[in-house]
Amino acid sequence: MRGSADVVAALELGATPTPSAPVEMAALLPVPAPPVLPLLDRDLCILAFNERVLAWAMRDDVPLLERLRFLTIVSSNLDEFFEVRAAPQVTAMRAAIEQGAAMPAPLQALADHSHALVTQQYRIYNEEISPAFGRVGIRVVANRDRTAAQREWVHSYFAKEVQPLLVPVGLDPAHPFPKVANKTLNFIVRLQGNDAFGRHNDVAILRVPRALPRLVAMPAKVTEGKRLFVSLTSIVRAHLKDLFPGRKVQEFSQFRVTRHSDLSVDEEDVPDLRTALRQGLHHRHYGMAVRLEVDFGCSDTLAQMLLTQFSLPPQVLFRVKGPVNLGRLAQLIELVDAPQLLFPAWRPVWPRQLAQGSSIMAQMRQRDVLMHQPFESFDGVLALLREAVNDPQVLVIKQTIYRTGADSELMRLLGEAVRRGKEVMAVVELKARFDEEANINWAESLEDVGAQVVYGVVGLKTHAKMLLVTRREGRRLRRYGHLSTGNYNMRTARLYTDLGYLTCEAGTTADMDAVFSHLANQNHMPQLQRLVMAPFALHDRLLALIGKAADAARQGKPARIVVKMNALTDEALIRGLVAAGQAGVQIDLIVRGACMLPPQVAGQTDNIRVRSVIGRFLEHTRVFYFAWGVHEHVYLSSADWMSRNMLRRVELAWPVTDAALRQQIIDECLVAYLHDDRDAWSQQPDGRYLPPPHPQTGLGAQQALMQRYAGG
């Protein structure tokens, strides 16, 4: 193990800090405090992250279906952005218009950036990805390009599979505008002529059921050896006239409305949170409208009619050249079944620090174990839980559930543990956004077999990830714990980078048990020995560590902070980092998503560098490194540096004291990423990001780790 000073040097990117001037000189020549640093706009930072993801859809070195996947990821991300964050801005835009005021610059900037991103997205699809698919014999065929045989087949499919499910509604006083659910596909149609009763109702709305597939493969008999598909949108467009016999379709447009979908429940005022949330899930589909997508050629008349109907300002009207939901094109990846157009399959290896086939708990008694996903498999966690379920000496299993997925072997194992007579406690977070229904179902399923299910603390989300097993060993009880930076979700464990930590160290596992007890009975927390918990102590601990590094730098000692996380938006932590950088601390921030701290601002953040790594896997590990003088601290955590994580969630951070594991984390999660010139974007003072210097030939952290774990 290298000494602390060697580690600081190994992590060093900038110049060694210049020693501070003597205190006496500083007193004689006072330096005025630098002006308050303006922070970057959080929403624009989120959009900038999606621009970096979208860049993968343009990379020639990325397999074609993977380029499509990144394109659809951006669509899904934008959906969530509008569903969760856009309601206040849309309300403010609408108010400005009603008052005849100029649109505030931040709101206009948000609208401009989001429109530019969507325009770029469709340009990539139409001008790059679609032609590239055509060159390998894969096409989504528009009606104008279909042969007579293909049109005949599409007509037959429409008549048999689609038309029976469609019910167009002509608007009149007895037939008001129908309810339009969040993100559903719809058509607005203007008709000529009168209806069957001689009345002039010229507008109809057609809702397209979600049960219908958005892409359909044509049979081989009409494809001439190619892999051809038709979109549901195209099928309906081609047959609108069949839905309005006796009328002429004058104009039409597909449209899609995005609604505010963040569930809001007053936990203090409901007797049963689970029941209240289940009831709220239905209403989520009909929240406040925040975005309208229509065809690029939609007439101003139809567009204005829809804007008026949904009380939307024109700034959130998006005219798109293609399907209104590019995210649904992800179905093409499965339909094509072309492995050569995907990344080479990555099969995570069995965790290297665990002997396969041997008792996991016996190995934990020998040493702590670190698991690095997705390079190592999630099977080590399942093996621990499976061993606990089958071990008659195991008495109690406790686990937090945040995002485990609708189909989870882990949850089934918890149910089996109950059936085998063990005490099982599950802390289920019902408010995990967009996973509420799955978590409610799991909570009810576990309760049905006799598990003790609790929902954490009123007003706080339980985001901490921990599993605790209590086993009788002779005349004593021993606890075995697993802590993680990510979710207990087997699917995302193959797609997200995360660290899992196995330990039976008495202080850590006692802290875990205390946290579980607090979540169940909400008594006052005892003083924790090893773990640091939000909302009680984590924020203050991080500020204190930043402050100690700054104090050391002021004394002329080398000081270093390196933090890897998903987002940096907490203002107090940002101000602390800025002050530390001004004191001489060398700071590197590896922030995947939104970072509101502007780096490299002359005279203010010269010693702070920010990079964002966008790769094949979603970066999800949270690693906090602080070093000054002979001191070195490495923490792993479930928390990002956001106010919600620090003050409105139950989060955990834990120190890594094992020297070998600490060095492994430094090497794999920090040093590798600081030297990445293939997938790492560099943030500029104005919030823009410079792309990786060598995206095709450079050294990528994820590629290096795949080679390392595969034995390459």
| pLDDT tens-digit series, residues 424-466 | 999 988 765 656 777 777 788 888 888 888 887 777 888 999 9
Grade residue 9 by pLDDT with cuts at 50, 70 and 90. very low
Lowest mean pLDDT among 294-303, 429-438, 467-476: 429-438
For residue 546, CA distances in Å to 153, 582, 607, 626, 693 come to 67, 12, 14, 8, 31
Residue 26 has pLDDT above 50, yes or no: no
Query: Does the domain at residues 4-17+534-710 carry the CATH identifier 3.30.450.40?
Result: no
pLDDT value at residue 21: 32
pLDDT value at residue 125: 97
Q: Cα torsion at 223, 226, 227, 232 (round to 10°)?
A: -40
Residue 272 has pLDDT above 70, yes or no: no
Of the chain, the end-to-end C-alpha distance in Å amounts to 24
Residue 241 has pLDDT above 60, yes or no: yes
pLDDT of 306-321, one tens digit each? 999 999 999 999 999 9
Structure tokens at 380: 């080590």
Residue partners of 19: CB distance under 8 A and separation at least 6: 556
Residue 301 has pLDDT above 60, yes or no: yes
For residue 558, CA distances in Å to 5, 302, 548, 562 come to 8, 64, 12, 13
Please provide the DSSP assignment of 659-685 as one string.
HHHHHHHIIIIIIHHHT--SSEEEE-T
Residue partners of 424: CB distance under 8 A and separation at least 6: 396, 397, 398, 399, 414, 417, 418, 446, 450, 451, 452
Kindly name the residue from 113, 239, 260, 463 that is annotated as catalytic.
463
pLDDT of 66-114, one tens digit each? 999 999 999 999 999 999 999 999 999 999 999 999 999 999 999 999 9
- Binding residue numbers for Mg(2+): 403, 433
Residue type for position 685: P
For residue 164, CA distances in Å to 50, 167, 212, 276, 541 come to 39, 8, 11, 35, 62
**Which percentage of the chain shows pLDDT scores above 90?**
79
Q: For all residues of the chain together, what is the average pLDDT?
A: 90
Report the interhelical angle of 42-55 vs 105-124 (nearest 10°).
Answer: 10
pLDDT of 165-201, one tens digit each? 999 999 887 789 999 999 999 999 999 877 766 677 7
Contact 104, 37 (CB under 8 A): no
Segment 345-372 shows an average pLDDT of 97
Rounded CA-CA distance 670/6 in Å is: 15
Rounded CA-CA distance 546/540 in Å is: 10
Grade residue 31 by pLDDT with cuts at 50, 70 and 90. very low
Contact 382, 413 (CB under 8 A): yes
The yes-or-no answer on residue 282 being catalytic is: no
Residue 265 has pLDDT above 60, yes or no: no
Please provide the DSSP assignment of 273-309 as one string.
HHHHHHHHHHHHTTS-EEEEEEETT--HHHHHHHHHH
Segment 11-34 shows an average pLDDT of 40
Residue 147: strand, helix, or coil: coil
Point out which residues pair with 623 in neighbouring strands.
564, 636
**Fold agreement (4-17+534-710, 360-529):** yes
Rounded CA-CA distance 617/375 in Å is: 10
Angle, vertex CA 398, rays to CA 397 and CA 403, nearest 5 = 125
Closest CA to 418 of 454, 446, 456: 446
Dihedral sign for Cα 398, 432, 621, 490, please. Answer: positive
Contact 688, 610 (CB under 8 A): no
Segment 294-312 shows an average pLDDT of 96
The residue count of the chain comes to: 712
More confident: 339 or 267: 339
Query: Does the domain at residues 74-339 carry the CATH identifier 3.30.1840.10?
Result: yes
Segment 122-141 shows an average pLDDT of 96
Segment 259-280 shows an average pLDDT of 61
Greatest Cα pair distance, the chain, in angstroms, is 96
Dihedral sign for Cα 174, 180, 184, 185, please. Answer: positive
pLDDT value at residue 268: 52
Rounded CA-CA distance 701/284 in Å is: 40
pLDDT value at residue 273: 58
- Binding residue numbers for ATP: 77, 496, 592, 620
183 Ramachandran zone, left/alpha/beta (phi>0; psi -120 to 50): left
pLDDT value at residue 193: 75
pLDDT value at residue 445: 84
pLDDT value at residue 455: 82
Rounded CA-CA distance 129/132 in Å is: 5
How many CA atoms, within 13 angstroms, populate the side-chain half-sphere of residue 557?
16
Lowest mean pLDDT among 378-387, 442-451, 633-642: 442-451
Residue type for position 693: P
| Strand (E) or helix (H) holding 123 | helix 105-124
Residue partners of 456: CB distance under 8 A and separation at least 6: 427, 429, 462, 519, 650
Structure tokens at 555: 């004394």
Rounded CA-CA distance 348/369 in Å is: 17
Q: What is the CATH number of domain 360-529?
A: 3.30.870.10
Segment 636-646 shows an average pLDDT of 97
Predicted model pTM: 0.91
Residue 612 has pLDDT above 90, yes or no: yes
Contact 606, 690 (CB under 8 A): no
Q: How many C-beta atoms surround the C-beta of residue 562 within 10 A?
A: 27
Residue partners of 152: CB distance under 8 A and separation at least 6: none
pLDDT value at residue 55: 97
Point out which residues pair with 478 in neighbouring strands.
471
Q: Cα torsion at 46, 47, 49, 53 (round to 10°)?
A: 140
pLDDT of 389-410, one tens digit each? 999 999 999 999 888 776 788 8
Grade residue 304 by pLDDT with cuts at 50, 70 and 90. very high
Domain chopping of the chain, boundaries: 4-17+534-710, 74-339, 360-529
Angle, vertex CA 664, rays to CA 582 and CA 709, nearest 5 = 130
Residue 245 has pLDDT above 70, yes or no: yes
Residue 514 has pLDDT above 70, yes or no: yes
Contact 430, 471 (CB under 8 A): no
pLDDT value at residue 402: 83
Closest CA to 317 of 293, 287, 299, 295: 293
Grade residue 569 by pLDDT with cuts at 50, 70 and 90. very high
Looking at residue 358, what DSSP letter applies? S
Residue type for position 630: V
Residue 508 has pLDDT above 80, yes or no: yes
Structure tokens at 476: 């004593």
- Binding residue numbers: 77, 403, 433, 496, 592, 620
pLDDT value at residue 36: 81
Segment 337-346 shows an average pLDDT of 94
